Amino acid sequence: MKALKWMLAFVVTMVAMMSCCQKNEAQKVLVLYYSQTSNTKTVAQEIATRLGADLEEIVPVKPYDGDFQATIARCMQEREQGVIPEIQPLAVDVAQYDVIFLGYPVWFGTYAPPVAAFLDKVDLSGKKVVPFCTFGSGGLDSSVKDLVEKQPKAEILPGYGVRAARMKAVPKEMDQFLKAGGFIEGEYTQPEAFPGQHPVSEEESAIFDSAVKDYPMIHAQAQTVASRTVSDGTEYLFTAVDLPREDNPNNPPASEMKVYVMVEEGQTPVFTQVVREANN
């Protein structure tokens, strides 16, 4: 009887240990990215370092190595012709990974063409995919929407995006992003939801204008706003409408946009991203 009790206790202990080991078994993580100007590469390296993950670059056979205007011209031509650039074979087997952080610059509201080429070649079914991107004004939401449509059987997790003008914010923001996603341990406080929007006051309108004045692609007027207190200061969510531009009468019709603005204590306002409703 004692031998039987001992055996049962041993079995229970072993089952508990096996369960614990399986629960805590680390998932294999790959940070995969395309970067033209090294901004996305910087974010990718930050993630890989913090997670101890493998790092791999998507490299086009014919690099986009021109200046901004040359890159835009080539990209527009490829889009018009339905051309997807050829990419070099990866050194890793994507199938061997459980979680893939997929990084890219946003071009024309979505992931850059080399990433489109990668997504055409692989099946990420059953994988957890964490998008991250860099952009001039925005594009996280629209690019993630395209990613979901392209890989419908993958589990697309919340993503991270940062303006090229705000690269210094990456280490701090990435720390919070990875904690929020449960990828690293540490204290994380979920921001409260924005309250309802209200018409902008003169002071709030001045905050919006200050945040966007140096960015030539935004020529808009704030209509309504909501704000919330965050750890670094105050975050605003403006609803704005494009204004007509005398210097470019061929601009598309005015559309509504959401503009996120951060005002840290003692700092000038800066916008963090733009979400154009007409593109979503």
Query: Is residue 192 classed as helix, strand or coil in its secondary structure?
Result: coil
Pick among 1.10.10.10, 3.40.50.360, 3.30.230.10, 3.40.50.1580: CATH of 26-180: 3.40.50.360
Q: 260-263: which pairs have CB atoms within 8 A and are 24 or more residues apart?
A: 260/235, 260/236, 261/207, 261/208, 261/211, 261/235, 261/236, 261/237, 262/230, 262/232, 262/233, 262/234, 262/235, 262/236, 263/207, 263/233, 263/234, 263/235, 263/236
Report the alpha-carbon distance of residue 112 to residue 254 in Å, rounded: 26
pLDDT at position 6 over 70: no
**N residues, the chain:** 280
Question: Do 113 and 78 form a contact (C-beta atoms < 8 A)?
Answer: yes
Both structure tokens of 132:
């991250």
Q: How many CB atoms lie within 10 A of CB 226?
A: 15
> Distance of CA 160 to CAs 43, 133, 135, 153, 173, Å?
10, 6, 11, 21, 9
How high is the pLDDT of residue 252? 59
Tell me the one-letter amino acid at 171: P
At 184-215, the pLDDT tens digits run 999 888 889 999 999 999 999 999 999 999 99
**What per-residue confidence (pLDDT) applies to 43?**
98
| Residue found under tokens 């910087």 | 42
Question: What residue ranges do the domains of the chain occupy?
Answer: 26-180, 198-279
**Terminal Cα distance for the chain, rounded:** 69
- Per DSSP bridges, beta strands 110-111 and 256-264 are unpaired
Q: What angle do CA 274, 275, 279 make, to 5 degrees?
A: 135
The answer to whether 98 and 125 are in contact (CB under 8 A) is no
- State pTM to two decimals: 0.86
Question: What is the tens place of the pLDDT at every residue in 78-95?
Answer: 989 988 999 999 999 999
Q: How many separate helices (H) and strands (E) can be counted in the chain?
A: 7, 12
Distances in whole angstroms, Cα of residue 219 to Cα of each of 77, 199, 206: 27, 19, 14
pLDDT tens digit string along 27-78?
899 999 999 999 999 999 999 999 999 999 999 999 998 788 898 899 899 9
Nearest partner of 62 among 52, 71, 50, judged by Cα? 71
